[in-house]
Amino acid sequence: MTYSIKGLDPAAFTFLVGADEELLASHNAVRVTATAKPGYPCRISLEDAEPGETLILLNHVSHDVASPYRSSYAIYVREAADAAASHVDSIPPVFEGRPLGLRGFDSDGMLRKAMLALPGTADSTIREMLVAPEIAYIDAHNAAHGCFAARIERD
């Protein structure tokens, strides 16, 4: 089973890059500076920011569907991120060392299966979930903080 994991499109966030605090606040966003690595997972590059890097912390609708499972939560995007990461049959760096909540949805955006992937088990858990034909895609979330990590799609 082949799958792909892609970072978010940076074009969706360019209006916030370098924005003043007033514009950020009008979008319920704030600029933060990474103080440690890991700790500031960028949803564009799918890597943790380096200490000293600036990021935008904002609310993001990760599951924009007409179902009870529509969801949004806070995410980080690095201001310097200019290209979405792309991983095929491999786990991005931002998944390493973190427990993940994996939520498998059908084509109507309804939850069909959910599993926990402990550090080191993301690949095998993703593959196990994608065996079920009703799973159209999987949304990965950091298990502890609950924030959206990335979407996983069949390739």
pLDDT tens digits for range 32-88 = 999 999 999 999 999 999 999 999 999 999 999 999 999 999 999 999 999 999 999
Number of domains in the chain: 1
- Nearest C-alpha neighbor of 32 from the set 40, 43, 22: 40
CB 76 within 8 A of CB 43: yes
In angstroms, the CA 64 to CA 61 distance is 6
Helices and strands, number each (H, E), in the chain: 2, 9
**Other beta carbons less than 10 A from residue 152's beta carbon:** 25
What pTM was computed for the model? Answer: 0.95
Q: How far apart are the first and last CA of the chain?
A: 8
**Structural domain that includes position 14:** 3-154
